[in-house]
Each structure stands twice: as C-alpha cells, then as structure tokens.
Amino acid sequence: MIKSLKKYFIPHKNNDHQPHLLRKRAVLAILVFILLVEGFFLVQIFLLFPNTNLFSSILPNVLVDLTNKDRGQNEIAPLSVNSLLEQAAMLKAQDMAENGYFAHTSPSGATPWYWLQKVGYAYSGAGENLAVNFSDSADIENAWMNSPAHRQNILDNRFSEIGIATAKGLYNGREAIFVVQFFGRPELSSALSKVQASAQTAPKNPAAVPPKPTPAQNPVSLAEPGNMAIQNIQSNQTSSDLVAGALTLSDDSGKAPLRASRWQRLLSMPKKMISLIYLVIAGIVLLALALKIFVKIKIQYPKLIFNGVLVLFVIISLLYLNYLLIQPGQIF
C-alpha cells in the first residue's frame, strides 16, 4: 500500500521522479471517468428525472429524513408522517401543477388550511413550506433552512407530524416538480382518540393528558408579511398546550427511523454527489501536483504539471457548466 502511494504520488528514483498519477495513462483514465460521471449526471437531470417519476417518487421520504435530521441536530423531537397531511400535500401540489401557480393561496382563493380541512385533518397548529424547480433534495432542504420563515416551520417544536408530496406540471413554461411540505399538530380531541384507541395496550399509570382546549374562533397566522412560509396556530391554547411533549402519543425521544434507502438518498442528490466526486478528484490531483513540484524541486517535468493542471481545469469547467445548466429553484 505504501509502495503504491509512493509510486503514484511521490517523485523518487524508482519512478524516475515522475509520479504515475500525473502520467498520460493515468490522466486519460481520470478524464474518461470524469466524463462518464458527467454524462450520467446530465442523463439523470435532463432525461431520467423529467421523463419518469423516479425523482418525484423518492423525494418525499428523503425530505422527511432531512427534516428530522435537522431537528435532531437542534435537539428537537422528530416528526412522524401523517397520511392525512400527505393527502393534503398531494392535493395542493396537484392543484399548483394543474393550474400553473406557485403560492400559498391559490388563484381561486384556497388557503393552505383549505387542503387540511378537505382531507379531514383536525389541527391545533399547522405550517406549509413550498418548493419548485429543484433537481436535488439537498438543495431544497438547504434553501428552506437558509430562510428564517421556512426554518421556523422545520424547527418548530410545537409540530409533531409531517406530510410531503410532489406533483409534476408546467411552471413558467417548463416542466417542473412542485413540492409541498405540511407540518401539523393534531387537535387535542383527535389526539386523545388515538390514545383511547390504544388504551388497552397502554401502561397502567399513563402520563396525565392536558384537558381539551376550546377550538379557536379566529386562528392566528404567525407568518410575517413577505415571509416565504406560512404557519397557523390556534390562538386560545395555553402555552403548555403548545409545548412539544405536552401530549405524548409515542416515544419521540430517539431518532426517527430512516424512510429512504441509501440508494434513494444518493439518487435524490445528483448535484451534491457529482460536486463531491469532483472535489475529491481535484483534491487528489492537487496533492499529487504539490508533491511533484516541491518534493524534488530541482527535478521538474513540465508535461506532468500540465497534465495535473489539465485535470483541474476540466473539473472546474464542468462544475461551472453544471451551475449554468441547472437553474436555481424557488421556495415559498
């Protein structure tokens, strides 16, 4: 192992002071590999994702995992997936895709809470994040986390449930994937019914449950003007009713189980993965170049230096090309 590393990276007498990593054959192999990776990336972005449901089908589970990862890093209990929230998110995503708009309120005046009511989700608090025109799940999560209003929804400890859905449609004249992320905290009466349904399997001395609050007549919107996210919390609940953990339906103290497989996570992050691959290759070549130049500074082979610089130039060019080809998505 050490001999191989020395052979490929360090100029010395046995390799004629010409590290094999910078020789013509190795450089050609590296360039071919880079071009194959780039080709697969472009096929995935411009052919596979637009013409199949691969990306849109794996995206919800990946985003749930990323959301719970961010909550875990901030010591906040993970969210559980609620099928009614998923249904509401699907209805909202389909409505945006079919009518070509991207907003919390539809052209017909339907608010986010309309979709929750339509599927029968009784909530004491809810929030909505939207995204469109993204081709990488990591970019979506990063965009939301970099926006104060979206970040507030993701890290709000009053929410205990989540539902995410996608739909494909036209937006601004091009094919796009609409992403809807609903957060919710079930109304206390609804949550109590779940507790009562499982009472036979519950411990003999369950924790006390707060009394059912009176439904608010006028829900309060916590979204400030201009914020690209929206939240709705019932106004007459006491602070103790809104604190995470006031009502415990399950043990949320640990990490939530991952919903997406490793392959799904990799496939949903093509931009992040190809950038990581290129940066690793660039780092290796840069190390070989530095060792070539400085270990035997009096013995130089310009063609080897040129080969290393060529690889770095190709990588930088492809990273810039990908930046130009992939339009940034939008969040709301």
141 inside domain = yes
Same domain, 78 and 176: yes
**pLDDT (tens digit per residue) in 203-237:** 433 333 333 333 333 333 333 333 447 776 654 44
Same domain for 70 and 181: yes
Contact 305, 107 (CB under 8 A): no
Give the domain extent around 30.
1-51+270-326
Q: Is residue 134 part of a domain?
A: yes
- Write down the pLDDT at residue 142: 95
Among 189, 210, 245, residue at a domain's last position? 189
How confident is the model over 172-208, as pLDDT tens digits? 888 899 999 999 999 875 544 554 444 444 443 333 3
Handedness of CA 69, 96, 331, 172 (dihedral sign): positive
148 in a structural domain: yes
What's the structural domain count of the chain?
2
Regarding whether 144 and 32 lie in a shared domain, the answer is no
Shared domain for 64 and 184, answered yes or no, is yes
Strand, helix or coil for residue 17: coil
pLDDT value at residue 189:
56
pLDDT band at 3 (very low <50, low <70, confident <90, very high): confident
% pLDDT > 90, the chain: 59
Q: What is the mean pLDDT of the chain?
A: 82
Angle between helical axes of 2-9 and 270-295 (0-180°, round to 10) = 80
In degrees to the nearest 10, what's the CA dihedral of 232, 237, 240, 245? Answer: -50
- The whole-angstrom separation of Cα 55 and Cα 267 is 8
Establish if 250 belongs to a structural domain.
Answer: no
One domain for residues 77 and 179: yes
Q: Does residue 11 or residue 78 have the better pLDDT?
A: 78
Same domain, 288 and 306: yes
pLDDT for res 268: 92
Q: Which of 30-39, 76-85, 198-207 has the lowest mean pLDDT?
A: 198-207
> Where does a domain end: 189, 212, 243?
189
Q: Is the pLDDT of residue 126 over 90?
A: yes
Report the C-alpha gap between 279 and 87 in whole angstroms. 40
221 within domain boundaries: no
The CA-atom distances, in angstroms, between 88 and each of 56, 93, 108, 191, 257 are 16, 9, 17, 18, 23
Q: Give, rounded to a whole angstrom, the gap between the first and last alpha carbons of the chain.
A: 52
| 175 in Cβ contact with 168 (< 8 Å) | yes
Same domain, 74 and 176: yes
Read off the CATH number of the domain in which 111 is found.
3.40.33.10
Name, in order, each residue with C-beta under 8 angstroms of 146's C-beta and a sequence gap of 6 or more: none
